[in-house]
Structure 1
Amino acid sequence: MLSKPFFGYAKPRFQYELLSTALPQPASVASTGAMTVLLPREMGPAPSPLLKPGTRVKTGQRLTWDDQPGPSVIATATGVIQSVAPHLGDYGRKFTAITIAPESADEWDEQFAEASRQADRQLLIDYLCNVPGAPALDKLADPKKPVDTIVIYGGDTDLLVDTNLYILKSQTAMVNEGIHALKEIAGVDKILLAVPSDSFQNFDGHFEADVRAVPNTYPHGQPLMVFYQLFGKILDQGERFEDHGVLFMRAEAVAAIGKAMTDGRIPLDKVVTVLDKQGGKHLVAARVGTPIGAILGRFDISLEDRDRLIFGGPMTGTAVYSEDQPVLADTDAILVQDSRDIILTSDYPCINCGECVRICPSKMAVNLLVRFLEVGQYQEGADLYDLYSCVECGLCSFVCVSRIPILQYIKLAKYELARAVPAEEENE
């Protein structure tokens, strides 16, 4: 519940960087080592009848746990399954990691090409949820929450990241093909393309979508802020965008859908922004499933003891702990921090300096909210201090004098409260 009257967001402080018209060509990274893709389901106690070490798979083949309806993932290399193992993601998300030892050349699976001749919504869900950009197409299949609006964001949500804006500028035709496919196949007529305001004139009138400008100041690219700017609404406790009939997608995801329907072949190359220890920026094209180590090696980036690897940008990224971690369909950036430059978080108490309150775009009493979250009183924090007004931009953590990991507390609180909702429904 929201306890305060909501009257808009405060003025943010940072500017997103915009790519120049002379677009850089992403460096190509070919991994000759093992490729790992993540099936979005928990590994069962019994072995899978289909995913077994020694089984040969083809590039573009749809991999499922068994023959029953359920989640799938696309093989990004031709080769033999090396291992099948459990994989734990952020906030309790469970996957099955499928590692493939690739052969020297691709042998493409033709099932998608054949099925795409008579494309329907189920084809999109079965084959294209794992394309670069990770479109949540499975949410189109929920009859209880029909999607009537798709919002495509053509910028990047975090600072220093160029991935989605690069795709929008360099693959304009494929983005438009993807919009056309979503209208024709998914049956969603209302599609909004939100772009940074400084780029609005470059895109208005060039797409089968209603192009809208959003401010080029951080954190206006965060989905919750885009949602507010487009619809004048915020999400209450337990709500998701789909509860309002809205589905968010990255520009990269829509371009991948367009390319898949045009070529009859599932795109596998993910564009990633790499931020090195010296502050250098590189654009990379690598297949989904490529280990981070192969990308770092492409730029001679070496990791020393206590250096930090982060998936995402400097404000909202998440730490990962191994160079073997694969690039995922939603990996927009890899940030490498030198151990000497890392400012560690602490358990030092809040000193009530008020910096988090002054910088918060949602005008929340962050200093009071975090006191409840630190001791696990998540519902009290939500009821009294507007947990769900938070847009998860990370500005509060950035300015915190006491180095409290405020953003992580907020994300954990939302996760725990979301977990409690199904349990309460079962007990009713």
Structure 2
Amino acid sequence: MLKKSFVGIIKPRLEYQPLTGSISEPILIPPPSTARLLVEGPVEERDTSLFSEGDPITAGQPLRHSGQTDAYAVATVSGTVGTISAYTGDFGKVFTAVTLLRSEEKTEQPDPVVSTPPSLDTALAHLKHLPGTLPLEKFTDQTKPIHTIVIYGGDNDILVTTNQYIVKARTTVLEHGVVSLKQITGVDRIVLAVPGEAVQTFGHLEAEVKKVDMAYPSAFPQMILHTVLGQTLPAGKSCEDLGFCFVTAEAVASLGEAYKTGHYPVRKLITVINKAEKQQLVSAVIGTPLSDIFQQLGITVQDGDRIIVGGPMTGSAVYLEDYPVMPDTSAVVVQDKDAIALVSDYPCINCGECVRTCPVYVPINMLVRLLEAGLYEEAADQYDLYSCIGCGLCSFICPSKIPIYQFIRLAKYELERMKSAEETNESS
């Protein structure tokens, strides 16, 4: 819901939607006949001796790109390897796409990794891509020691209730996951941040429980760090630079489920928002094509409609209905072509709405002028580009329909690409 002052002096206020009342079980999407996994790295550089087309595969088995990188995906169905091809994601990110042809379900066997005591080495090699995605690599950087893990029991974007469901309906595996996470990382301080809940509800967990405001974007890590934990993140720094690591409740619950049951969990919870903005929580095997979910829910996608992976404020559009469910897919939005907001190249009218609504006080009206001109370094130096937390409120509120959020994402990507190129040149 959007709350806005008539006179335009008070900031517009978007609010997260709380999950209240009786909680229904997610709709179970049948396992796909063909699952598709994306492994980071170009297909031409993968080690073909690790797996090839036609090889038998078992659910829970890692599919590694090569011995030169630590990139891998985890098979979510048992069967055989189908096609192996190249895939390009956002901003030119390169993947190896692997299709898995599911055979008849086999009798589940205990996973040897999660049947042994938790450790960081085994978790890194096998559990990074659990449903919800565990950022375990953050705990290997000795220059940035982590002293606090923050588990967020809500979702960054509006209309999404995936992680709220976890903290309300799966507290047993969440509790088990907290214990396992402490054992794996060696971090004793765990903070559970929950949206608009009474902290007494979660008093049984081995964690400090903090309340997060329901105003968007209070759930972003940078905002939780500032408003809940009393830490201000300097521009250009990460939460890990200050010793904090943020993890989703679903990732921790998946970890708990793995060690509690002895089996690798393969199902991802997803909030699906249809053309009428109705939300439905579904459970789908990672790698399931979105088209399978749409068919199960009776959603018809036509030419000109938009599919967004992620929430309505910060998600990214995809162009194929067979795009797979990923370990970090928290939501899928389907927009009717007639309901898609226009994007224009109209000039800024200096209304000040973007400046007023920015939660971190970036001078957006000045920043966007440099971004439109491709002056990314100047934008970073003069107008706080790196202070932006990526909430998308500026684009949402802009009366000229300037795609400010997309300009900012592109600028950060280009600056990072330039930095990487310079480092490569210096080392060669």
The alignment's TM-score, normalised by the length of structure 2, stands at 0.92
Q: Distance in 2 between matches of 1:109 and 1:241?
A: 39
Q: Distance in 2 between matches of 1:194 and 1:262?
A: 23
Find the counterpart in structure 1 of residue 5 from structure 2: none
Deviation sequence 1:101-120 (CA, Å, 0-9, x none): 1012135465x435632331
Distance 1:57 1:87, change over 3 A: same
Find the counterpart in structure 1 of residue 4 from structure 2: none
CA contact (8 A) 1:369 1:385 kept: yes
Find the counterpart in structure 2 of residue 200 from structure 1: 198
Matched residue count:
416
Q: Which amino acid aligns with 2:34?
A: A
Report the Cα offset of residue 422 of structure 1.
Answer: 3.3
Report the Cα offset of residue 275 of structure 1.
Answer: 0.6
Higher relative contact order (CA 8 A, sep 6+): 1
Deviation sequence 1:48-82 (CA, Å, 0-9, x none): 21221111100111111245662221100011111
Find the counterpart in structure 1 of residue 78 from structure 2: 78
CA contact (8 A) 1:116 1:123 kept: no
Find the counterpart in structure 1 of residue 179 from structure 2: 180
Q: Distance in 2 between matches of 1:367 and 1:66?
A: 46
Q: Distance in 2 between matches of 1:32 and 1:218?
A: 35
Find the counterpart in structure 2 of residue 246 from structure 1: 244
Tell whether 2:336 aligns with 1:343. Answer: no
Distance 1:423 1:103, change over 3 A: same
Find the counterpart in structure 2 of residue 126 from structure 1: 125
Distance 1:102 1:348, change over 3 A: same
Report the Cα offset of residue 42 of structure 1.
Answer: 2.8
Q: Secondary structure at the match of 2:280?
A: strand
Find the counterpart in structure 1 of residue 161 from structure 2: 162
Q: Which amino acid aligns with 1:172?
A: T
Q: Distance in 2 between matches of 1:312 and 1:72?
A: 22
Distance 1:414 1:119, change over 3 A: same
Report the Cα offset of residue 312 of structure 1.
Answer: 1.3
Deviation sequence 1:313-366 (CA, Å, 0-9, x none): 111111011111000011111100000111221112112122111211122211
Q: Which amino acid aligns with 2:262?
A: G
Q: Which amino acid aligns with 1:27?
A: I
Report the Cα offset of residue 93 of structure 1.
Answer: 2.5
CA contact (8 A) 2:139 2:146 kept: yes
Q: Secondary structure at the match of 2:37?
A: strand
Q: Which amino acid aligns with 1:393?
A: C
Find the counterpart in structure 2 of residue 385 from structure 1: 383
Q: Distance in 2 between matches of 1:59 and 1:263?
A: 15
Q: Which deviates the most, 117-126 or 317-326?
A: 117-126
Q: Distance in 2 between matches of 1:243 and 1:280?
A: 39
Q: Distance in 1 between matches of 2:188 and 2:420?
A: 32
CA contact (8 A) 2:113 2:126 kept: no
Deviation sequence 1:237-287 (CA, Å, 0-9, x none): 2x2222222211100000001111111111111010111111211110001
Report the Cα offset of residue 177 of structure 1.
Answer: 1.0
What does residue range 223-242 of structure 1 map to in structure 2 within 5 Å? 223-229=221-227, 230-237=229-236, 239-242=237-240
Tell whether 2:338 aligns with 1:313. Answer: no
CA RMSD of aligned residues (A): 1.9
Q: Secondary structure at the match of 1:185?
A: helix
Q: Secondary structure at the match of 2:185?
A: coil
Q: Which amino acid aligns with 1:50?
A: L
Q: Which amino acid aligns with 1:119?
A: P
Q: Which amino acid aligns with 2:98?
A: I
Unaligned runs of 5+ in 1: 1-9
What does residue range 246-395 of structure 1 map to in structure 2 within 5 Å? 246-395=244-393
Find the counterpart in structure 1 of residue 6 from structure 2: none
User: 1:396 is matched with which residue: 388, 394, 400?
Assistant: 394
Q: Distance in 2 between matches of 1:247 and 1:106?
A: 37
Q: Secondary structure at the match of 2:112?
A: helix
Q: What percent identity do the matched residue pairs reach?
A: 43
Tell whether 2:45 aligns with 1:61. Answer: no
CA contact (8 A) 1:59 1:109 kept: no
Deviation sequence 1:113-144 (CA, Å, 0-9, x none): 35632331111111111111011112222223
Find the counterpart in structure 1 of residue 91 from structure 2: 91
CA contact (8 A) 2:62 2:72 kept: yes
CA contact (8 A) 2:76 2:287 kept: yes
Unaligned runs of 5+ in 2: 1-9
Q: Secondary structure at the match of 1:279?
A: coil
Q: Distance in 2 between matches of 1:400 and 1:11?
A: 13
CA contact (8 A) 2:153 2:249 kept: yes
Q: Distance in 2 between matches of 1:90 and 1:365?
A: 27
Q: Which amino acid aligns with 1:180?
A: V
Q: Which amino acid aligns with 2:80?
A: V
CA contact (8 A) 2:32 2:288 kept: no
Deviation sequence 1:133-177 (CA, Å, 0-9, x none): 011112222223222221111111111111011111111121111
Q: Which amino acid aligns with 2:204?
A: H
Q: Which amino acid aligns with 1:81?
A: V
Q: Secondary structure at the match of 1:303?
A: coil
Q: Distance in 1 between matches of 2:246 and 2:148?
A: 9
Distance 1:106 1:411, change over 3 A: farther
Distance 1:210 1:350, change over 3 A: same
The alignment's TM-score, normalised by the length of structure 1, stands at 0.92
Find the counterpart in structure 2 of residue 5 from structure 1: none
Distance 1:195 1:373, change over 3 A: same
CA contact (8 A) 1:193 1:209 kept: yes
Q: Which deviates the most, 343-352 or 260-269?
A: 343-352
Deviation sequence 1:387-428 (CA, Å, 0-9, x none): 122121111101111111100111111222223333344427
